[in-house]
Amino acid sequence: MDPIFILITVLALLTFYLGLGIWVGVGLYAVAITSLALFKSMPVDKLVAQLTYNTVTTPEMVALPMFILMAEILFHTRLSTSLFNGLSPWTHRLPGRMMHVNVLGCTLFAAISGSSAATAATVGRITLSELFRRGYDRDLVIGSLAGAGTLGFLIPPSIILIIYGVLSETSILKLFMAGIIPGLILSLCFMGYLGLRATMNPALLPEAEETPTWRDRMVSLIDLGPVVFLIALVLGSMYAGIASPSEAAAVGVLGAFLVSAGQKTLTMDTVRKACLGAVRTTSMIALIVAGAVFLSVSMAYLGVPRMIAAEIAALQLSPISLILLLLVFYAVLGCVLDGLSAIVMTLPITLPLVISAGFDKIWFGVFVVIVVEMAQITPPVGFNLFVIQGLTGEKIGRVAKATIPFFLIMAAFAILIAVFPEIVTFLPSNVKLRG
């Protein structure tokens, strides 16, 4: 059977099933089963059962619900208020002043969340109203929260990096380590842009407030205690070799319960809401990942990835040209698909291409997470846009427009790590993990 005809059929099936409005995971299973039924004679039922079981019982997937539960518990605490009170005294002398609280708050919360939407929602609950009340430019405040909120996907522990590790059979710990430096540099890029805008146009900021004393700054560090405690508990236990990712996730849940109890927000109602939210999110992600793995194996049986790789190889693109092509491809895909779906649907094809071009699997994991971050603020389905719209009440068009500079910063940063891949690979290559 002609591989091109098979590819066209698969794409048509994908468009048809997803166009029906069914769940993405179910749609992926349907595409794979229909394709195998049309072009291969094999026991599809046994393949479905075996692959699904193997996927959802991997140690990496076991860590997923724990990290999601930790984020759900923290969402119901007063951590957003603690972050704002702890960070704001330290930003007064920076160009842009308290505008940086959005970026710094998201950077810290990302290190204990793993979710982009949870990061934007938790930090934005207090920072948006406080910054608006003080008179900071609305568009810059909205854009900075949307852009920095995506750091929840890049800075470990990252749910997307766990999923990428499962699909690509890559070390989760090394992927987590690879995300640290790019995440911090991207955070600094956002802060640099805010400082530049504030310097060029001081009218974006309100009148200067009273300068906090050093005593105020020292006292404010107490508010950052819960966040620092959780970061040390989760990431410290993993990198010290004390706990595996799944064990560290369980320790993180315990830490989240302790923080919630310490802030007197731990009630049966919040526990019930957190558990239900974790079950819903985990079930959705697990179904998508299992469907994607089955589709990936089905496409391999049909020879689709090999055919596409051969066609692209025939174009004789340079490695950088290939990365630019993938950057545009994922940016366009982000206009119609959420980031998770974009990764699981395309990875069986794109990963072999970048490996054959000489790029590392760990590097590509960080690259693809950055372009997925871009999808989070790309209309019409950018999830962070809807999170912030819900927090602000603004029209989705204004929210999307405010995120454009941060989208461009992420695109430029993706190109930067393609030119200098050592930004990503330095820590995984040079730091030996204990245990």
Q: Residue ranges per domain, the chain?
A: 3-430
Give how far Cα 55 sits from Cα of 62, 278, 289, 325, Å: 10, 19, 8, 30
Q: How many CB atoms are closer than 10 A to CB 320?
A: 12
Give how far Cα 232 sits from Cα of 77, 108, 251, 361, Å: 19, 12, 11, 27
Helices 404-419 + 319-333 axis angle, to 10 = 150
- State the Rg of the chain over Cα: 22
C-beta separation of 351 from 364 below 8 A: yes
Helices 304-314 + 3-19 axis angle, to 10 = 110
Give how far Cα 30 sits from Cα of 22, 34, 37, 163, 272, Å: 10, 6, 10, 21, 33
pLDDT of res. 257: 93
Give the span between the Cα atoms of 235 and 24, in whole angstroms: 32
Give the span between the Cα atoms of 147 and 141, in whole angstroms: 10
Q: How many CB atoms are closer than 10 A to CB 318?
A: 9
Report the predicted TM-score, pTM, of the whole model to 2 decimal places. Answer: 0.83
pLDDT of res. 380: 66
C-beta separation of 28 from 344 below 8 A: yes
CA quadruple 273, 275, 277, 281: dihedral, nearest 10? 180
Q: Measure CA 234 to chain center.
A: 18
Q: How many CB atoms are closer than 10 A to CB 135?
A: 11
The CA-based diameter of the chain, rounded to the nearest angstrom, is: 75
Give how far Cα 273 sits from Cα of 78, 226, 386, 387, Å: 16, 21, 21, 18
Tell me if residue 420 falls in helix, strand or coil: coil
As given in the structure block, the two tokens for residue 354 are 């970048």
C-beta separation of 47 from 55 below 8 A: no
pLDDT of res. 38: 87
Q: What is the pLDDT along the chain (435 residues), one digit of tens a residue?
A: 566 788 788 888 888 887 787 887 888 889 889 988 888 877 788 888 888 888 788 776 777 888 888 888 888 888 888 888 999 999 988 998 999 999 999 999 888 887 787 888 888 888 898 899 899 999 999 999 999 998 988 998 888 898 898 888 888 889 999 999 999 999 999 999 999 999 999 999 988 777 888 888 899 899 999 989 998 998 888 888 888 888 888 899 999 999 999 988 889 999 999 999 889 888 888 888 788 778 878 877 887 766 766 777 677 788 888 888 888 888 877 776 667 777 877 887 788 888 888 889 999 999 999 988 888 788 766 778 888 888 888 888 899 899 999 999 999 999 999 999 999 999 998 877 654
Give how far Cα 53 sits from Cα of 58, 278, 293, 296, 305, Å: 9, 20, 11, 15, 24
Give the span between the Cα atoms of 250 and 248, in whole angstroms: 5
CA quadruple 368, 371, 373, 379: dihedral, nearest 10? -140
- Which of these, 125, 71, 78, 80, lies nearest to 263 by C-alpha position? 78
Give the span between the Cα atoms of 379 and 366, in whole angstroms: 22
Give the span between the Cα atoms of 358 and 373, in whole angstroms: 24
